[in-house]
Structure 1
Amino acid sequence: MKVNHLNLTVTDVPEARKFLETYFGLTCEGSRGNGFAVMFDDDGFVLTLMKGSKVQYPKTFHIGFPQENKEQVDQINQRLKEDGFDVEPPKQLHGYTFYVEAPGGFTVEVLC
């Protein structure tokens, strides 16, 4: 069985969409104004973004974007830093990983 899609409620659909396109290569295949967007990854996974006025995910909730190697993790981390995101350097935990708060109110993990 394969997970087909995930819906995230976010406070700012256009900014969350731009973030996911810029750093993780998702593509938007459709939207309805500033309140909804349908995004796809290279494997056909569907991520929908829906506007909500209040977003409160549990503290440990996050979505993950695995990379092929540490160099790719480091590159994304550096790009995020250069673009003004508050990110710690990657650490070796359950993998080589770091977390970033994405625009719209959700957390992203980048790891290999």
Structure 2
Amino acid sequence: MKMNHLNLAVTNVPAAAQFLETYFGLRKQGGNQGLTVLFDDDNLVLALMKASQVSYPSTFHIGFAQESAECVNEIYQRLKNDGFEVKPPQRRHAWTFYVQAPGGFTVEVASR
């Protein structure tokens, strides 16, 4: 069995979609201020749905696995250069860092 759909409630659909397209290569298929659907390379459907506020648990996040530590470092540097507040990657369960995405959710970027 394969998971193929995830819906995230976000406070700013266009900003969240642009973030995921820019830094993680997701592709948008239609959308508006209230709902946008994105796809990854394996055709996972990620729906972003407008909410007036979001309150995810502190441990909740979505993750993007990278092929190498160098890829993790490159994404970190791009985010930092673009003004995101992000702590440098470090070795935990993987070479990883977390970033707050526009719209109110957390993203983990990691490589084993």
- TM-score, scaled to structure 1: 0.98
CA-atom RMSD, angstroms? 0.4
Matched, 1:6 2:6: yes
Q: What is the DSSP-based 3-state SS (H/G/I as helix, E as strand, rest coil) of the residue aligned with 2:86?
A: coil
CA drift of 1:30 comes to: 1.5
The equivalences for 1:46-85 within 5 A come to: 46-85=45-84
What are the ranges of 5 or more consecutive residues in structure 1 without an aligned counterpart? none
- TM-score, scaled to structure 2: 0.98
* Identity level (%): 64
Q: What is the DSSP-based 3-state SS (H/G/I as helix, E as strand, rest coil) of the residue aligned with 1:78?
A: helix
Q: How many Å separate the matches in 2 of 1:50 and 1:84?
A: 25
Q: What is the DSSP-based 3-state SS (H/G/I as helix, E as strand, rest coil) of the residue aligned with 2:43?
A: coil
Q: How many Å separate the matches in 2 of 1:66 and 1:49?
A: 20
Cα deviation code 1:11-38 (max 9, x no counterpart): 000000000000000000121x201000
Q: Give 2:95's aligned amino acid.
A: Y
Q: What is the DSSP-based 3-state SS (H/G/I as helix, E as strand, rest coil) of the residue aligned with 1:108?
A: strand
Pairs aligned (count): 111
Instruction: Look up the match of 1:19.
Output: 19
Runs of 4+ more than 3 Å apart:
none
What are the ranges of 5 or more consecutive residues in structure 2 without an aligned counterpart? none
